[in-house]
Amino acid sequence: MISLDVKNNQIAVSVMGQFTLDDYREFEQAVSYGIQFQGTVDLLFDLRDMLSYSLDVAWEELKFSREHKNDFGRIAILTDDQWMAWSMWVNRLFMSADIRLFDDLEMAQAWLAGNELPATAG
């Protein structure tokens, strides 16, 4: 299950429980709409309450990332899961976005707002 919060060119996504393909498609629609009307979008993924996701979600994420590799400005990922850190590194290969990993919501939001953070922040 996901919760989406869209404000101007920023989309905040909170994932709770299992991240399903239907959830991912809902996210894709919000991003596509944002790109169409705002241009480049920034993302905040809060994955702290995500329990799992399926292989079809991972595959869809890879395809979507490649199709929209230049449509993202900053992507903040809020998690303490090391698997997400590895996934973030893989996504950097396919995207031109600045992707950072955070364990603090306020720091992630500040960075998305354009505030510079200490080098140890992400």
Q: What is the mean pLDDT of residues 79-101?
A: 72
For the entire predicted model, the pTM comes to 0.84
Domain borders along the chain are 2-121
Question: 2-121 adopts what CATH topology?
Answer: Rossmann fold (3.40.50)
- Report the C-alpha gap between 8 and 34 in whole angstroms: 8
Quick: pLDDT tens for 4-25.
Answer: 999 988 999 999 999 999 999 9
Quick: pLDDT tens for 45-67.
Answer: 999 998 888 888 888 888 888 88
Statement: residue 122 has pLDDT above 60 = no
Residue in this structure with the two tokens 């498609």, named with its chain if needed: 25
Residue 106: band (very low, low, confident or very high) from pLDDT cuts 50, 70, 90: very high
